[in-house]
């Protein structure tokens, strides 16, 4: 006797239900892997130790950003105590040696400080920055070995450091690949940073670290925000001032802006380079203005108000060779041991006094009289 049709219907419904349930279970099991393939997740969040947008949250993206409070122009980034290195320079009868260390962004800071710390006031602003370098790129350039060579040239009284633009990637250390801002990454990079800063402190330099500003590209900016928090935490442990620049180079709503408004004249001026990473010459001076003012005041105090003799005026600096800007990294986790890629060195530039030095990607620093603000944003 054949089965009743109702039993066949129930049997087929049971089989269908079991198949659907199994499919759902398999889908849930593989959901994290699929999400990882489809969604390039932001880097891990580092404990918030400085002000500014959090890692993974870019001002102006998604939720509307709150207006940013622009720091006071007379803020003093260094402690009030006169740096011992400046006192040492006066006692030894030599110029004040201000060393700027970093990557191509450091080149821009060097050019800005060179313009704001006059040679006639016995400032010798030394370019120790090098393009395409970073604490994750030791197979290309070991920054600690390079620093030892630089310090052998003479003492550094005040060291201004800025790294990170090339470090938004994993690091190969102790035979392992560590993802960006992972615990292994922080341990490896943190140890390198600590040794680097302590080398400068050991030879008598007062150290200050300048953080990176808001970036145009959203993912890169999220990585830089996390990097700033990491470096700020490292500097706090080392007793080094950290200058947070994120609130300095944004518009009235805390967003990235190629042009900013001059607070004195109300006129717009070009603040960023076209790559969305570097600053213009005036933009770099915006980031370093308070530091330069404080260093000039310190120098006057160290000299006791006495005039600077011609013998203490250092020679002009040499222009840096032009090098392509760093490209934001898209991969936070290295797939294998990094390969060494060395750029062809450029021919050294001849000394010049015709124009002040300029960074590789930013607009050349203006003449002493200042630069006019552009009437409208540049066209692509």
Residue 16 has pLDDT above 70, yes or no: no
Give 250-293 pLDDT, tens digit per residue. Answer: 999 999 999 999 999 999 999 999 999 999 999 999 999 999 99
Percent of the chain with pLDDT over 90: 63
Give 325-352 pLDDT, tens digit per residue. Answer: 666 655 544 544 544 444 434 434 333 3
Phi and psi dihedrals of 333, rounded to 5? -120, 120
CA distance 253 to 8: 67
Within a domain: 320: no
Cβ atoms 255, 60 nearer than 8 A? yes
Cβ atoms 155, 98 nearer than 8 A? no
Cβ atoms 357, 127 nearer than 8 A? yes
Phi and psi dihedrals of 175, rounded to 5? 75, 15
Task: State if pTM tops 0.75.
Answer: no
Within a domain: 258: yes
Domain that residue 101 falls in: 77-312
Comparing CA positions, the residue from 260, 293, 269, 280 lying closest to residue 358 is: 280
Q: How far is CA 140 from CA 104, 131, 136, 256, 339, in A?
A: 15, 12, 9, 31, 9
Comparing CA positions, the residue from 290, 52, 70 lying closest to residue 160 is: 290
**Ramachandran bin of 304, using left for φ above 0, alpha for ψ from -120 to 50, beta for the remaining angles:** left
Within a domain: 169: yes
H/E element holding 173? strand 171-173
Counting beta carbons within 10 angstroms of the beta carbon of residue 4, is it exposed (0 to 12), middle (13 to 18) or buried (19 or more)? exposed
Cβ atoms 120, 313 nearer than 8 A? yes
Within a domain: 244: yes
Cβ atoms 254, 248 nearer than 8 A? no
Within a domain: 55: no
Q: Taking all residues of the chain, what is their mean pLDDT, rounded to a whole number?
A: 78
Structural domain count of the chain: 1
Give 28-43 pLDDT, tens digit per residue. Answer: 343 333 232 223 334 4
Within a domain: 44: no
Cβ atoms 214, 255 nearer than 8 A? yes
Give 141-158 pLDDT, tens digit per residue. Answer: 999 999 999 999 999 999
Residue 162 has pLDDT above 50, yes or no: yes
Q: Which of 56-60, 93-97, 228-232, 344-348 has the lowest mean pLDDT?
A: 56-60
Within a domain: 367: no
Within a domain: 356: no
Residue 1 has pLDDT above 80, yes or no: no
Phi and psi dihedrals of 308, rounded to 5? -90, 120
> What band does 214 get if pLDDT is binned at 50, 70 and 90?
very high
CA distance 178 to 188: 9
Neighbours of 380 (CB within 10 A): 4
Residue 315 has pLDDT above 50, yes or no: yes
Could you tell me the sign of the dihedral formed by the alpha carbons of 274, 278, 284, 290, in that order? positive
Domain CATH number, residue 165: 3.40.50.1110
CA distance 335 to 295: 45
Q: DSSP letter for 337, please.
A: P
Residue 378: the pLDDT is 35
């Amino acid at each position: 006797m054949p089965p009743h049709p109702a039993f066949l219907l129930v049997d087929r419904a049971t089989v269908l239900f079991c198949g659907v349930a199994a499919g759902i279970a398999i889908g849930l099991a593989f959901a994290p892997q699929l999400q990882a393939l489809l969604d390039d997740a932001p880097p891990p969040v580092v404990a918030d130790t400085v002000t500014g947008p959090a890692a993974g949250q870019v001002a102006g993206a998604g939720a509307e950003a709150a207006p940013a409070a622009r720091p006071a122009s007379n803020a003093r980034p260094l402690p009030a105590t006169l740096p011992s290195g400046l006192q040492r320079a006066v006692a030894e009868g030599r110029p004040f040696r201000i060393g700027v260390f970093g990557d191509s962004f450091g080149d821009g800071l060097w050019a800005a400080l060179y313009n704001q710390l006059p040679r006639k006031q016995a400032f010798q602003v030394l370019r120790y920055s090098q393009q395409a370098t970073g604490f994750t790129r030791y197979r290309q350039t070991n920054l600690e070995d390079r620093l030892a060579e630089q310090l052998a040239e003479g003492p550094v009284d005040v060291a201004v450091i800025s790294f990170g633009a090339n470090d938004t990637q994993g690091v190969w250390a102790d035979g392992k690949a560590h993802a960006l801002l992972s615990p292994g990454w922080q341990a490896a990079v943190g140890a390198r940073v600590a040794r680097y800063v302590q080398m400068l402190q050991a030879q008598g330099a007062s150290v200050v670290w300048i953080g990176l500003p808001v970036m145009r590209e959203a993912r890169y900016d999220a990585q830089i925000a996390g990097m700033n928090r990491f470096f700020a935490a490292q500097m706090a442990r080392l007793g080094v001032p950290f200058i947070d620049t994120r609130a300095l180079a944004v518009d009235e709503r805390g967003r990235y802006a190629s042009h900013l408004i001059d607070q004195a004249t109300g006129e717009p001026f070009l603040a960023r380079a076209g790559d969305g990473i570097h600053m213009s010459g005036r933009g770099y001076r915006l980031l370093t203005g308070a530091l330069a003012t404080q260093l000039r005041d310190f120098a006057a105090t160290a000299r006791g108000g006495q005039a600077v003799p011609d013998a203490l005026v250092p020679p002009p600096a040499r222009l840096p060779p032009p090098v392509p800007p760093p490209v934001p990294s898209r991969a936070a986790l290295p797939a294998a041991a990094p390969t060494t890629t060395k750029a062809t060195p450029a021919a050294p530039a001849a000394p010049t006094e015709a124009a002040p030095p300029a960074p590789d990607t930013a607009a050349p620093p203006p003449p002493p009289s200042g630069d006019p603000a552009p009437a409208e944003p540049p066209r692509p």
